């Protein structure tokens, strides 16, 4: 057949023949043949043989299953014995010699006999083979089987071009799982995941997800722990070394640790250090860890709104990770670190779930031995961890959490304390950090006061530390550049190095003024002075309030105004005044949100002063809540407020009478400089405040 330039030739065997001779021509070789015919044997015998071939064939075909289907159908069709025998020779897997032998055997019955013996042999072979298989299968034990499969898989992977890296790191992971004392459930989980990992092509995204998971699972600490230092005297020594003062706080910490040791459990409530920034909450936490010989980790919860930041994302998310708790644990590397949870009061909440309920589980000794992280999936035991929380503002800690916490209050430092802290700790610390020897850098008490008053304005000592650090750096430069032996910090040098004074000390009003009153506020940054301004102008009774005031404080302004309206006569104010004028109240420095009822007296005083045109003493500050009938009620944060007043040089502070008991907490240095005037009613306030 000719097709597109190709020739195709089909040969088919027609009959048997014997080669007699070759005839060579110049183009091709021809053969001279002598046809041979089949020799028929006994007919009965032939029939029996054909039958036998058919049955033999059927049984072999069922075990080897390698015969073309057309042969099977041919054989069942009852063809002639000759065709049957020749077909067989063609399809049966025989050696060339055997095939030749079948061809040369002219006697049909003999040919059939030959075929039967070949079929017998084949049958025997497959029987032996299957029995060998059986035995081999028995011998391959579970481990070997696994090995075999693994090897096979590796081979497949290699075939697919997935380089053998899988082999190396799975081996490593397997060793890690088997060698280390992980809890049983973790081991189990890790092995499951490892098996999954091995199945995945190493270049696939999923493989890297599983790999990352395994990493987290195996590197999260499940067993290692440090030995606690239980020598309480040594603990106390170390706490004292690290921090100046804070006696009450340290005592509380010591009691806490003692009880813990005695009861030998961590089931006690969690310590929470509350106070303004920079008063040493974090460094106390560190110090506790150091004195107990424990590892320290810190995790900040500021701005955490989403539960999954604490508990982790489920693994189905792309790039998911464990939550901050597990992250912190991994960082610590042990199961019993001191774990500082910073800014627990800044915990938010939104539609994505309430993180405080997750925190509750972390901090509750009853529950935290089975803490669940969405990513890790396996329960994690947090019961050996010593948690310490910090907060700026007690009121902002979610109520449910507050219940679990043992609150320790730290408050602002007085100037004297700040100087002592600087002398005993900060200067030495900065010297070391900047490579200065003691005699190379001198900063003395007077200059410290000057720094505190004019370059810092804070409850703690953070800014002060920064200022000292800055002086140290300048000193290093001067020593190296100008070949100075020693630097003694003077006021002149401070002005030169730090620039002009940043804060004016005693920022109280210089003169007695009308409509301006200094209030005292207690914010998360410690105490602060809060000037209130009131002015009025012709109008029709509008009441304007500006500055960043919270709702409670806005209410206080209305209460103040209504109190004055209803007592107009007493304060000699024309009742018609309010209809003909607009009144504007402003609380400056709006950047810091202010709230709370304690500005009541301040607002009322400023209003009366403005409306009646009577000046208010400038060296006086006040705090107190006012009722509609003019009673003055107790307020919180007196210590912080009076420290703030002291900072700006106030001489007199009006306080609610019911706060007299809190005067105990106020440092002597402050009490020496400030006169506290207890009052019960608005009338008394005005009598003291108005000139």
Chain positions contacting ligand ADP, by CB under 6 A: 243-246, 277-283, 390, 421, 425, 460-462, 465
Three-state SS string over 645-680 comes to HHHCCCCEEEEEHHHHHHHHHCCHHHHHHCEEEEEC
CB of 304 to ligand ADP, least distance (A): 17
CB of 378 to ligand ADP, least distance (A): 33
* 282 vs 598, beta carbon nearer ligand ADP: 282
CB of 405 to ligand ADP, least distance (A): 16
Distance CA 632, CA 116 (A): 121
Tell me, yes or no, if 73 is annotated catalytic. no
Q: Find the catalytic residue in 202, 412, 556, 598.
A: 598
Q: Of 462, 619, 660, 453, which is closest to residue 529 (Cα–Cα)?
A: 619
| Alpha carbon distances (Å) from 255 to 250, 259, 404, 493 | 9, 6, 18, 46
CB of 424 to ligand ADP, least distance (A): 7
Distance CA 347, CA 354 (A): 9
| Alpha carbon distances (Å) from 337 to 121, 227, 377, 525, 536 | 76, 11, 22, 29, 60
* 302 vs 506, beta carbon nearer ligand ADP: 302
Token code pair at residue 464? 């002060």
DSSP state, 477?
Answer: H
What is the number of the residue whose Cβ is closest to ligand ADP? Answer: 280
Distance CA 643, CA 459 (A): 9
CB of 336 to ligand ADP, least distance (A): 22
Distance CA 623, CA 653 (A): 8
CB of 251 to ligand ADP, least distance (A): 14
Residues present in the chain in total: 691
Distance CA 686, CA 653 (A): 13
* 280 vs 515, beta carbon nearer ligand ADP: 280
Q: Find the catalytic residue in 189, 281, 641, 642.
A: 641
* 456 vs 614, beta carbon nearer ligand ADP: 456
Distance CA 173, CA 611 (A): 80
Q: Of 327, 345, 350, 451, which is closest to residue 401 (Cα–Cα)?
A: 345
* 276 vs 312, beta carbon nearer ligand ADP: 276
Tell me, yes or no, if 598 is annotated catalytic. yes
- b/e code 16-40 from CB counts within 10 Å (16+ = b): eeeeeeeeeeeeeeeeeeeeeebee
CB of 496 to ligand ADP, least distance (A): 26
Q: How far is CA 187 from the centre of its chain?
A: 23
Instruction: Specify the pairing of strand 516-523 against strand 620-622.
Output: parallel
CB of 279 to ligand ADP, least distance (A): 5
* 94 vs 421, beta carbon nearer ligand ADP: 421
DSSP characters for 155-178? HHHHHTT--THHHHHHHHHHHHHH
* 226 vs 409, beta carbon nearer ligand ADP: 409
* 280 vs 624, beta carbon nearer ligand ADP: 280
Q: How far is CA 308 from the centre of its chain?
A: 9
CB of 414 to ligand ADP, least distance (A): 12
Distance CA 20, CA 622 (A): 138
DSSP state, 237?
Answer: H
* 428 vs 493, beta carbon nearer ligand ADP: 428
- Residues designated as active site: 598, 641
């Amino acid at each position: 057949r000719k097709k597109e330039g190709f020739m195709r030739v089909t040969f088919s065997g027609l009959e048997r023949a014997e080669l007699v001779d070759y005839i060579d021509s110049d183009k091709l070789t021809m053969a001279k043949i002598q046809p041979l015919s089949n020799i028929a044997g006994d007919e009965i015998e032939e029939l029996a043989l054909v039958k036998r071939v058919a049955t033999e064939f059927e049984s072999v075909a069922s075990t080897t299953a390698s015969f073309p289907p057309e042969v099977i159908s041919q054989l069942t069709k009852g063809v002639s014995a000759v065709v049957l025998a020749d077909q067989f020779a063609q399809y049966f897997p025989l050696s060339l010699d055997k095939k030749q032998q079948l061809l040369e055997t002219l006697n049909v019955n003999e040919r059939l006999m030959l075929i039967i013996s070949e079929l017998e042999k084949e049958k025997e072979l497959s029987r032996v083979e299957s029995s060998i298989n059986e035995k081999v299968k028995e011998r391959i034990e579970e481990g070997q089987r696994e090995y075999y499969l693994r090897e096979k898989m590796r081979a497949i992977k290699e075939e697919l071009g997935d380089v053998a890296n899988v082999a190396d790191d799975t081996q490593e992971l397997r060793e890690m799982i088997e060698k280390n004392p992980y809890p049983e459930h973790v081991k189990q989980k890790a092995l499951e995941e490892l098996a999954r990992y091995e199945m995945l092509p190493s270049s696939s995204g999923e493989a890297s997800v599983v790999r990352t998971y395994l990493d987290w699972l195996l590197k999260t600490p499940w067993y290692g722990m440090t030995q606690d230092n239980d020598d309480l005297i040594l603990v106390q020594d170390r706490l004292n070394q690290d921090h100046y003062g804070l006696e009450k706080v340290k005592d509380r910490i010591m009691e806490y640790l003692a009880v813990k040791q005695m009861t030998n459990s961590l089931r006690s409530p969690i310590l929470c250090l509350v106070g303004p920034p920079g008063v040493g909450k974090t460094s106390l936490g560190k110090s506790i860890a150091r004195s107990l010989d424990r590892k320290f980790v810190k995790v900040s919860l500021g701005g955490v709104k989403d539960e999954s930041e604490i508990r982790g994302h489920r693994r189905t998310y792309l790039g998911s990770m464990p939550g901050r708790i597990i992250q912190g644990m991994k960082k610590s590397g042990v199961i019993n670190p001191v774990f500082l949870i910073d800014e627990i009061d800044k915990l938010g909440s939104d539609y994505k779930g309430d993180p405080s309920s997750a925190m509750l589980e972390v901090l509750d000794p009853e529950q935290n031995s089975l803490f669940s992280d969405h990513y890790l999936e396996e329960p994690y035991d947090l019961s050996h961890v010593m948690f310490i929380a910090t907060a700026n503002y007690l009121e902002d800690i979610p109520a449910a959490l507050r219940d679990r916490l043992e609150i320790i209050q730290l408050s602002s430092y007085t100037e004297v304390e700040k100087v002592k802290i600087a002398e005993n700790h900060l200067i030495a610390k900065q010297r070391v950090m900047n490579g200065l020897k003691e005699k190379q850098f001198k900063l003395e008490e007077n200059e410290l006061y000057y720094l505190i008053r004019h370059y810092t304005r804070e409850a703690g000592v953070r800014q002060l530390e920064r200022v000292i650090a800055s002086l140290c750096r300048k000193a290093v430069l001067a020593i190296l550049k100008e070949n100075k032996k020693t630097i003694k910090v003077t006021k002149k040098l401070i002005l030169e190095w730090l620039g002009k004074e940043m804060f004016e000390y005693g920022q109280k009003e210089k003169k007695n003024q009308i409509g301006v009153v200094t209030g005292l506020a207690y914010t998360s940054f410690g105490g602060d002075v809060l000037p209130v301004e009131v002015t009025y102008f012709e109008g029709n009774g509008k009441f304007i309030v500006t500055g960043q005031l919270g709702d409670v404080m806005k209410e206080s302004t209305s209460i103040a105004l209504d109190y004055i309206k209803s007592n107009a006569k007493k304060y000699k104010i024309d009742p018609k005044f309010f209809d003909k004028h607009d009144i504007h109240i402003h609380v400056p420095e709006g950047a810091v949100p202010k709230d709370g009822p304690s500005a009541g007296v301040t607002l009322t005083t400023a209003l009366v002063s403005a409306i009646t045109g009577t000046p208010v003493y400038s060296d006086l500050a006040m705090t107190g809540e006012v009722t509609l009938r003019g009673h003055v009620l107790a307020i919180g944060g007196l210590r912080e407020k009076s420290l703030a007043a002291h900072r700006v040089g106030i001489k007199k502070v009006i306080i609610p009478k019911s706060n007299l008991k809190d005067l105990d907490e106020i440092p002597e240095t402050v009490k020496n400089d400030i006169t506290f005037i207890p009052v019960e009613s608005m009338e008394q306030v005005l009598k003291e405040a108005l000139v």
